[in-house]
């Protein structure tokens, strides 16, 4: 006999579950999704670990990517799992340090795209009319330009530029390396989430709870942020997880083309270096970068799909 049947026999009404509790309960049952989530968390924790060691100037073997550990182009061995590069540096340490670059770019690019796309989509879907026409025209124009060319154009324009932060007492900040990459990706990738939120807000704005809020005299800002946004927030979380993969791949492409981080190792820069070494038979640097990208991409795709299925209200267990 199920727990629900036992409760009903005792005469008590079964306790309801919210969308979030029901979704995460279903998510925990999916073992492959939990393994993927553990892989993602491992990448995140290692990124935080590198930032902490740099902040407090700590020295750990795994973060000494520029230290010489052997002769040049040593093949994989028990001492150096992925061998050494042309300067005798550990390829494994370079690949691990590349986690920081890729995760940082993907995280901030996702935040920037959501900060732009979500408010614009909500405003277009709620106010409609002239506001909707302007926003739709803007994202339609951007989406008509090939995505990779748009990112390259933004990266080239932003590279070497300086932002004045005198008003905050922080002086002038020059855009270079990793900052240029995540700004270029974030400023050009908000179209998809904007369209999604616009469509959902259009669907929700005519429902009873929104009409009730209007009848009570609630302002448009309160209706959008207190009533509409909580009901579409699960889509924002799902979009954040699924877009993470594409942003990591975009960072790899930009670094491969020489528009990414120059002073620190990244997976794209490692692949760019390794393509010249492959004809010579030195395959391990390409393998290390590819394995690192494959693991995080596969884990994020599996977890993102599971998260989408678990938080979809249409699939809730009644």
CATH number at residue 280: 1.10.3720.10
Tell me if 261 is assigned to some domain. yes
Query: What's the pLDDT tens digit per position in 113-163?
Result: 999 999 999 999 999 889 999 999 998 988 888 877 888 787 777 776 666
Query: What's the pLDDT tens digit per position in 215-267?
Result: 888 888 888 888 888 888 888 888 888 888 888 888 888 888 777 777 788 88
166 vs 197, residue with greater confidence: 197
pLDDT of 243 reads 84
Tell me if 289 is assigned to some domain. yes
Average the pLDDT over 62-76 and give the result.
83
Tell me if 154 is assigned to some domain. yes
Tell me if 7 is assigned to some domain. no
Average pLDDT of every residue of the chain: 81
37: containing domain:
17-315
pLDDT at 318 over 60: no
Average the pLDDT over 286-303 and give the result.
90
Tell me if 3 is assigned to some domain. no
Query: What's the pLDDT tens digit per position in 13-57?
Result: 445 566 667 777 777 888 898 999 999 999 999 888 888 888 877
Give the residues across from 164 on adjacent strands.
172
The answer to whether the CB of 113 falls within 8 A of the CB of 183 is: no
Q: What is the DSSP string of 137-182?
A: HHHHHHHTS-HHHHHHHHHHHHTT-EEE-GGGT--EEE--THHHHH
- Whole-number Å distance between alpha carbons of 127 and 125: 6
Tell me if 11 is assigned to some domain. no
pLDDT of 165 reads 56
How many separate domains does the chain show?
1
φ/ψ of residue 167, rounded to 5: -65, -25
* pLDDT bucket at 2, cuts 50 / 70 / 90: low
pLDDT of 19 reads 60
Average the pLDDT over 300-314 and give the result.
78
Tell me if 4 is assigned to some domain. no
Tell me if 8 is assigned to some domain. no
Structure tokens at 307: 């998260």
pLDDT at 105 over 80: yes
Q: Kindly report the pTM of this predicted structure.
A: 0.81
């Amino acid at each position: 006999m199920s727990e629900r049947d036992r409760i009903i026999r005792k005469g008590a009404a079964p306790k309801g579950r919210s969308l979030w509790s029901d979704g995460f309960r279903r998510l925990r049952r999916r073992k492959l999704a939990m393994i993927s989530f553990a892989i993602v968390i491992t990448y995140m924790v290692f990124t935080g670990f590198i930032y902490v060691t740099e902040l407090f100037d700590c020295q750990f073997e795994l973060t000494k990517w520029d230290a010489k550990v052997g002769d040049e182009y040593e093949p994989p061995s028990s001492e150096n799992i992925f061998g050494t590069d042309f300067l005798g540096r550990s390829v494994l340490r370079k690949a691990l340090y590349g986690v920081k670059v890729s995760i940082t770019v993907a995280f901030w690019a996702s935040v920037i795209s959501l900060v732009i796309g979500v408010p614009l989509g909500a405003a277009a879907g709620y106010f409609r009319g002239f506001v909707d026409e302007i926003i739709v025209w803007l994202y339609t124009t951007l989406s008509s330009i090939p995505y990779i060319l748009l990112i390259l154009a933004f990266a080239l324009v932003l590279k070497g530029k300086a932002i004045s932060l005198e008003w905050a007492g922080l002086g002038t900040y020059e855009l270079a390396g990793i900052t240029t990459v995540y700004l270029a990706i974030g400023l050009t990738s908000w179209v998809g989430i904007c369209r999604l939120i616009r469509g959902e807000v259009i669907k929700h704005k005519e429902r009873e709870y929104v009409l009730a809020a209007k009848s009570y005299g609630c302002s448009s800002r309160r209706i959008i942020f207190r009533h509409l946004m909580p009901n579409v927030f699960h889509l924002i979380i799902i979009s954040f997880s699924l877009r993470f993969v594409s942003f990591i791949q975009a960072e790899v492409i930009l670094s491969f083309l020489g528009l990414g981080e120059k002073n620190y190792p990244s997976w794209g820069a490692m692949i760019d270096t390794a393509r010249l070494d492959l004809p010579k038979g030195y395959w391990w640097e390409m393998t290390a970068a590819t394995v690192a990208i494959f693991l995080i991409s596969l884990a994020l795709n599996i977890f993102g799909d599971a998260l989408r299925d678990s938080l979809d209200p249409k699939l809730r267990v009644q």
